[in-house]
Amino acid sequence: MLHTHESSADQLLYKITHDLSETIRALVELPKWICEDLAEAQTEVSAEVQENLDALIVNGARLEQLINGLQTYSRVGFDQKLSVINLPAKMKELRQAIALPSSIKLTTHHNTDQLLAFEPDFSNLCLALLDNAVKHSDQQTRCLELKIVSTDHRIEVVMVDDGPGIPIHLRGKATQVLTSLSSKDEVEGSGIGLALALKTAESYRGTLLLETAFTETGRGLRVKACLKDPAIGAGLKVKNAASGLINS
């Protein structure tokens, strides 16, 4: 079963990012190859030239991250496959996909070990929220919590952190695509994460809520993405449907 919902703008965005992908990959790799060739030839370059090569590598990686993020954003709700998700395995996969600082502890909770969701939207949503929390952590951040709560035809993905949070007046802006509240020098991000979360929630008749996680200190952010669809969730009807998918 496929979930398909795509606008003409999404089609155009996907085509542009898809066509640019190989070119961007070359821009990322070429400075690295130049550095490797110079090292093999034992050729020394001036500090200024090396600085320029390093800048090309850094900015090329940022551009590739942006293109990949926009491509993922353009596919939300389109060509998605209804899948049985093993949540313990999925939580392990998400841990391995992020660079979690040793000073931060991640805990995960789920009220069921198995649910039905459309992929890759479900995985991309979880990863976007987790990645956003890690990237916007500060020296005082110690805890992250990812919680999945699922019932009949409903999935809630809740991400809680004790980081700096987002001021109330900036929360609307934070969910806009290509918008980052921090400079590139402070946070290596593409400005896609929360925008992708909002688009995913709305694509599945749901909502995205941002609120302060710890009101007593004014720190932290709780992001709750709610997805609603007749085919998803972990209730009895959905479990029966999951059995049918597994046995088909």
Instruction: Give yes or no: residues 42 and 96 share one domain.
Output: no
Instruction: Give yes or no: residues 152 and 105 share one domain.
Output: yes
Distance, in Å, from the CA atom of 190 to the CA atom of 149, rounded to the nearest integer, reads 28
Instruction: Give yes or no: residues 198 and 99 share one domain.
Output: yes
Question: Helices marked H in 42-184 — which ranges?
Answer: 47-74, 87-97, 121-135, 171-174
- Low-confidence residues in the chain, pLDDT < 50: none
Per the CB < 8 A criterion, the answer to whether 222 and 149 are in contact is no
- Model confidence, pTM: 0.85
Instruction: Give yes or no: residues 63 and 88 share one domain.
Output: no
Among residues 74, 101, 129, which one ends one of the domains? 74
Distance, in Å, from the CA atom of 2 to the CA atom of 46, rounded to the nearest integer, reads 55
Q: Which helix (H) or strand (E) holds 37?
A: helix 8-40
Among residues 29, 59, 74, which one ends one of the domains? 74
Instruction: Give yes or no: residues 140 and 243 share one domain.
Output: yes
Instruction: Give yes or no: residues 119 and 228 share one domain.
Output: yes
pLDDT of residue 94: 95
Instruction: Give yes or no: residues 25 and 85 share one domain.
Output: no
